[in-house]
A and B are shown apart, each in its own frame.
Chain A
Amino acid sequence: MKKFMILLLALAMSTFIFTGCGDSNRNTSQTEDSASDETADAAEEEPAADAESEESEAAEEESAAVDLSILYEEDDSMINNYSLLAVNPDAPFVDANGESVSDVAINTAGAKALTDWMLSEEAKTAAADFGFEEYGEHLFYVIEDGPSSEAEIPVATDETKNIRMSTTTSVNDSGLLTYLIPMFEEAYGYTVEIFSAGTGKAIANAEFGNADLIMVHSESQEKEFVDAGFSMVLDGYESERLTFLYNYFVLCGPSSDPAEVASAPSVLDAFKLIADGKYPFVSRGDESGTHTMEVSLWPEDLGITTDAASVEDYTDWYVFSNAGMGTCLTMAEEKGAYILSDKATFLTFKENNGVME
C-alpha cells in the first residue's frame, strides 16, 4: 500500500514537471500571437510567480528590453579605481573581545604571486580586453603608469597553494575574476578562493584574518585599512595600495529622464536635480564602494551618509536597499528609478536584458 502511494506521488510529480516543460515549448514557438494567452496563464499562477513569469517573458521578447539607460558618464569625478592590497601577517588583529591576536595565518607568498600576476603584462592585457567582444565597449581600463610587475612567479607549494581573496561584488558579478583567475591557476598551480561582498564587508573579512589579499574600490576605506596597519608593502612595490585598473561609475535612470540629468553640467548638479525633484533613487545601502561613491555625490546639506539613519527623512524617494548591484538594478528598472552603478555591471545587466550571467 505504502509503495503504491510513493509511486503515485512520483508519477504525479513527474507529470507536473513534464507538462510544465511541454507548455514552455508550445508557448515559445508561438511567440507574439499567444501573448494574451500567456497573460491569462500567468494570472492563474500564484502572485509570487507572477513577477517571475513577467521577468522571463521580458527576457524572451525583444520589445520589452531594459529601459534603464546610462544618462551621465565619463566625468573625471566618476572614476572608479580598483586596488589590490596584500594583508599584513603582523597586522594588529583583534578578536571579537578586542584582545590582540598575533599568530594569524596569512599566505603572503601566495598573495605576492597573485599580485605579481595581476600586475603582469599578460593579466593587464586580458583585463583590458575583457568583455570588449561581447559588449563592444571596454568594461575595465588599465592605468598606464600604474604599478606593474615582471617578477618571476614561483610555482605553488603545499604551503602557498591556497590563496584567499576578498573582493567586491562588482568585479565578481561582471565576470572579470572568473575570466582571469583560471589562467593564473592553470599556469602556476594555485587555488584562489574568492569571497565576494561589498567593499565594507570584504575589508571586514580581511580584518578578521580571513583573506590574504583584497581587491576593492573605495579609496577612503582602503586608506583606513592601510592606516590601521592591516596592509603591507610587498617586495618590489612602492605602496600598499596597488591601484591598477579603473572604469567609470555611471548614473542610470529611465530613458525618459524626468529629472533631466542628462543635460546637467556636472554630476553633482545631476544628483541635486534628483534630490530637488524627489525622483526615486535606488541606493546600494551596503557600504560597498559604489555606495561610498554615491553618498559623496549628494548635495552636502542633505547629510546623506552610508548610515541608514541619515536617510530617514527621504524614504519617500530614496531607497536604501542593502543589496547587491544586480538586485538594485532590477529594482531601479521596476520602479523607473535613478541609480549609480559601475559601468561593467550595468553593461552586463543591459546586454542580458536585465539578467546577469
Chain B
Amino acid sequence: MRTAFFQAIELVFSGNRQLINIIQVTMRMSLSSSLVALLLGVPLGALLGTISWKGKGILVIINRTLMGLPPVVCGLICYLLFSGVGPLRHLGLLFTVEGMIIAQVILLTPLIIGNMESHVSDISPAIRETAKGLRLSTAKTVLLLMNESQYQIFASYLLGLGRSLAEVGAVSMVGGAIAFKTNVMSTAIMNYTNMGNFTIALALGIILLVIALVLNIITALIQWRLRR
C-alpha cells in the first residue's frame, strides 16, 4: 500500500505522457457520457414519475431491469453492432472514445431515469396541489418540479459520473484499451493487474479516487452555490 501511495505521487509529478493521455481520455469519456445520460435521463425520469398511465408500471419494471444490465453484456452488444462486420460498421465507432461514450450512456441513462422517477413520483402529488392552488402554467409547474428536484438531479449526476469512472467491462470491450487512444483509468488498472504489476495498478487506483474526489468537490460546490 505504502509503495503504491508513493508511486502514485511519483507518477503524477513525473508527467508521464501515457498517464496524462489516460487521464484525458477518462475525463472526456466520463464527463460527456454522464452529461448526455443526465440530459436524457432527467426529463424521461420526471415524465415517468408524473404520468398516470396504465402501462407505467411496465415501463418502470423495464427500466429497473435495464438498471441492472451487466456492463459486459452492454459492451458485447455494442462490440457486435460497431464491429467490422456489424450493422453499424460504417460509423466506424469500434475502438473509439465515441463508441465508449455510447456504451456508457446506455448503461447510465436507466440509472438516472430510475433515480428521478422514484423521487418525482414521491413529490408530484404535492407539486400538483400547489400548482393547482396557485394556478400555475404547465411551464411554471415543470420549473417548480425541477427546482424541488435539484438535490436529486445532482445526486443522480454523481451516481452516473461515479459509475462511468469505475466501469470496466463495457469500455474494455468497445474501446479495446488501445494505448494513447482508448485506454482509460479502469482498463489501464486491469491491464497492469493482468501483467502482474500490482503496485502501478494500485497507484492508478489511488489517482482515480483522487480524481473522483475532486470532481465530487466541484459538484458539491456548484450545488451549494445554487442552493444559497
- Using a CB–CB cutoff of 8 Å, the interface residues on chain A facing chain B are 2-3, 6, 9-10, 13, 17, 20-21, 23-25, 27, 45, 49, 52-53, 55-56, 59-60, 93-96, 101, 104-106, 164, 169, 173, 178, 193-195, 208-210, 323-324, 326-327, 329-330, 349, 354-357
A310 to chain B, nearest CB (A): 24
With known contacts A2-B224, A209-B83, A356–B197 Cβ distance under 8 A: yes
Bound together, the chains give a CA A17 to CA B227 distance in angstroms of 31
Is B217 part of the binding interface, using a Cβ–Cβ cutoff of 8 Å?
Answer: yes
Contacts of A45 in B (CB 8 A): 1
Who on chain A is nearest to B194 by CB? A324
Give the contacting residue for B196; candidates A20, A101, A209, A354; CB below 8 A: A354
Bound together, the chains give a CA A104 to CA B92 distance in angstroms of 11
Instruction: Tell me whether A52 and B197 are in contact (CB under 8 A).
Output: no
Give the contacting residue for A349; candidates B3, B179, B196; CB below 8 A: B196
Who on chain A is nearest to B198 by CB? A55
With known contacts A105-B89, A193-B178, A195-B176, A355–B224 Cβ distance under 8 A: no
Contacts of A327 in B (CB 8 A): 193-196
Max chain A C-beta neighbours (<10 A), residue from B4, B83, B221: B83
Give the contacting residue for B85; candidates A2, A10, A24, A209; CB below 8 A: A209
Bound together, the chains give a CA A49 to CA B206 distance in angstroms of 13
- Using a CB–CB cutoff of 8 Å, the interface residues on chain B facing chain A are 1-6, 9, 79-80, 83-87, 89, 92, 94-95, 176, 178-179, 181, 193-199, 202, 210, 213, 217, 220-221, 224, 227
Instruction: Tell me whether B224 and A3 are in contact (CB under 8 A).
Output: yes
Q: What are 6 A-to-B residue pairs whose CB atoms are below 8 Å?
A: A2-B227, A52-B199, A56-B199, A95-B87, A193-B178, A209-B89
Contacts of B89 in A (CB 8 A): 101, 104-105, 209
Bound together, the chains give a CA A290 to CA B35 distance in angstroms of 43
Contacts of B4 in A (CB 8 A): 52, 56
Contacts of B84 in A (CB 8 A): 93, 104-106, 208-210
Main secondary structure of the interface of B (DSSP, over half): helix
Contacts of B2 in A (CB 8 A): 20, 23-24, 27, 53, 56
Max chain A C-beta neighbours (<10 A), residue from B2, B6, B79, B197: B2
B21 to chain A, nearest CB (A): 13
A72 to chain B, nearest CB (A): 22
B124 to chain A, nearest CB (A): 27
Instruction: Tell me whether B86 and A194 are in contact (CB under 8 A).
Output: no
Instruction: Tell me whether B95 and A195 are in contact (CB under 8 A).
Output: yes
B84 to chain A, nearest CB (A): 2
Bound together, the chains give a CA A96 to CA B80 distance in angstroms of 7
Who on chain A is nearest to B196 by CB? A326
A208 to chain B, nearest CB (A): 5
Contacts of B181 in A (CB 8 A): 193
Contacts of A357 in B (CB 8 A): 197
Contacts of A59 in B (CB 8 A): 3, 199
Who on chain B is nearest to A329 by CB? B196
Instruction: Tell me whether B3 and A93 are in contact (CB under 8 A).
Output: no
When A and B form their complex, which 6 residue pairs have the shortest distance between CB atoms, in order from nearest?
A209-B84, A326-B196, A56-B3, A324-B194, A24-B2, A326-B195
Contacts of A356 in B (CB 8 A): 195-197
Max chain A C-beta neighbours (<10 A), residue from B94, B196, B217: B196
Instruction: Tell me whether B1 and A49 are in contact (CB under 8 A).
Output: yes
Contacts of B5 in A (CB 8 A): 17, 20-21, 24
Instruction: Tell me whether A13 and B196 are in contact (CB under 8 A).
Output: no
Who on chain A is nearest to B94 by CB? A210
Contacts of B87 in A (CB 8 A): 95
Max chain A C-beta neighbours (<10 A), residue from B3, B210, B217, B227: B3
Instruction: Tell me whether B193 and A101 are in contact (CB under 8 A).
Output: no
Bound together, the chains give a CA A326 to CA B227 distance in angstroms of 51
Max chain A C-beta neighbours (<10 A), residue from B9, B178, B198: B198
A326 to chain B, nearest CB (A): 3
Give the contacting residue for A2; candidates B80, B92, B210, B220; CB below 8 A: B220
Contacts of B198 in A (CB 8 A): 52, 55-56, 355
Instruction: Tell me whether B217 and A10 are in contact (CB under 8 A).
Output: yes
B153 to chain A, nearest CB (A): 17
Who on chain A is nearest to B92 by CB? A105
Instruction: Tell me whether B85 and A104 are in contact (CB under 8 A).
Output: yes
Instruction: Tell me whether A95 and B194 are in contact (CB under 8 A).
Output: no
A173 to chain B, nearest CB (A): 5
B156 to chain A, nearest CB (A): 19
Bound together, the chains give a CA A354 to CA B198 distance in angstroms of 10
